[in-house]
Structure 1
Amino acid sequence: MTESQPNSVPPRRAGRLTILLATIAVLVVAGAAGIYGIGGLQRNAGGDPVCRPAVALAQQLKPLVRGEVAALTPAAAPLRLPDLTFADDGGQPKKLSDFRGRTVLVNLWATWCVPCRKEMPALDNLQAKLGSSDFEVVAINIDTRDPAKPKKFLDDEKLTHLSVFTDASAKVFQDLKAVGRALGMPTSVLIDREGCEIATINGPAEWDSNDATTLIKAAVKPVAGSSK
């Protein structure tokens, strides 16, 4: 009979020990990943400090997110929107930052998008009702083929209150998609005068309804000395 070595471990016990040690290692790694993951989320949730008032405003507006604008998602974390670039009716470059100092409703639309076309009259009426030095509807068309088509559509539908803004590259959609704010068409983002998100909606809304105008009036913070 061969004597067993004093420090040897029976095969079954060795197998169980290996599994136990492997399990502990996995739990330690998972725990560390969880800690660092939570820390990363907390850091990301901090956002741009300039946009914290926009989040506070969004929370105040929650009771008004109802009826025709019930699909709006109020901002839950500070987010300064990308400085979207597009062109005006004359082909001159424009940026979202050009509208700093006023609340804006950025809307992305296209003539090939049926819900977008149906929504445009309401956006035109909203601009007619509330458009001022404090608020503007910035409807940006992203047709990529016929540059004359967006203006022709607005003219044919007699939508005269909206300015013609276009981005034939559709980069504005990709820029908003990159920050999780464009999932389909139409997309609208209500933005405060610092360029920060107040609320977002993917899909159409009745923007000239009492629900919508009441919410937007509450969102607009007039600059001293400006006219309504």
Structure 2
Amino acid sequence: MRLIRLLSLYLAIALGANPALAADIATLDALRDGDMKKLNLHADPAPAPQATFTLETGGTASLADWRGKYVLVNFWATWCAPCRKEMPSLAALQAEFGGDGFEVLTLATGRNTPAGIDRFFAETGIDNLPRHADPKQALAREMAVLGLPVSVLIDPEGREIGRLIGDADWHSDSARALVAALLGRPPS
């Protein structure tokens, strides 16, 4: 049954269906398996808050700066064991899909020193994810992030379309199929 759903999705894309319509909630829901069953998809997406956070370069930004692409915002902390567990799969997802249409945006939330963030990334072997921070938890508070890790999927219009609480394998077949469907292309 899952294969039939995947084939119908890719057939629709191949025949020129609008990728945004092809990746509707029902289609995405059918692709959820394993850890992705924890991904709560929103039928009525709401605009994401626009609180600012600190860029790894020292400036500030808001989620509005990523409009025009799908963004997986991952709230994490250096002291968080589940964050350490899932970070390599987020890096693999970014390596496969990152670009003009999709990006993994990591935000170290709360008390995480720049040196501690650098050490975390070095210890986990991550070199392709941003080291942004939300030190005062302004964005995390506005997005009702109560524990870590939390990953929030934002659409190109800046609306929250999904949320996963806890760690997950973000490079699983299911996660990759979801991102591919959002981007209107078959998974590689």
Residue in structure 2 matching 1:127, options 94, 97, 106: 94
Task: Write 1 or 2 for the structure with the bigger share of strand.
Answer: 2
8 Å CA contact retained: 1:106, 1:191? yes
How many angstroms apart in 2 are the aligned matches of 1:69 and 1:162? 21
Corresponding residue for 1:97? 64
Measure how far apart 1:220 and its partner are: 2.4
How many angstroms apart in 2 are the aligned matches of 1:174 and 1:57? 28
Alignment of 1:1-228 (within 5 A): 57-144=24-111, 146-177=113-144, 182-220=145-183
Measure how far apart 1:59 and its partner are: 3.1
CA distance change for structure 1 residues 145 and 73 in 2, over 3 Å: closer, same or farther? Answer: closer
How many angstroms apart in 1 are the aligned matches of 2:182 and 2:51? 21
How many angstroms apart in 2 are the aligned matches of 1:58 and 1:75? 8
Aligned partner letter, 1:127: Q
SS at match of 2:68: coil
How many angstroms apart in 2 are the aligned matches of 1:206 and 1:148? 26
Measure how far apart 1:132 and its partner are: 0.8
How many angstroms apart in 1 are the aligned matches of 2:152 and 2:93? 14
**Runs of 4+ more than 3 Å apart:** none
SS at match of 1:98: helix
Rg (Cα) greater in structure: 1
SS at match of 2:103: strand
Measure how far apart 1:136 and its partner are: 0.2
8 Å CA contact retained: 2:84, 2:124? no
How many angstroms apart in 2 are the aligned matches of 1:206 and 1:146? 26
> What TM-score comes out, normalization by structure 2 length?
0.81
8 Å CA contact retained: 1:189, 1:199? yes
SS at match of 1:104: strand
Corresponding residue for 2:7? none
Aligned partner letter, 1:151: D
How many angstroms apart in 2 are the aligned matches of 1:86 and 1:168? 8
Measure how far apart 1:197 and its partner are: 1.6
| Structure 2 portions without partners, runs of 5+ | 1-19
Which structure carries more relative contact order (alpha carbon 8 Å, separation 6+)? 2
SS at match of 2:106: strand
Deviations 1:97-156 (A, max 9, x none): 000000010110001111111111111111111111110000100141523211221123
State, as a whole percentage, how many aligned pairs show the same letter.
38
